[in-house]
Structure 1
Amino acid sequence: MFALFFRKEPSHIPWGQLGAEYIIESTGVFTTIDKCQSHLQAG
Structure 2
Amino acid sequence: MVREGQAAPDIAVPATNGERISVSDYRGKIVVLYFYPKDATPG
Question: Scaled by the length of structure 1, what TM-score is found?
Answer: 0.26
Identify, as 1 or 2, the structure richer in strand.
2
Structure number with greater Rg is 2
Identify, as 1 or 2, the structure richer in helix.
1
Which structure would you say has the larger RCO, counting Cα contacts within 8 Å and 6 or more residues apart? 1
Question: Scaled by the length of structure 2, what TM-score is found?
Answer: 0.26
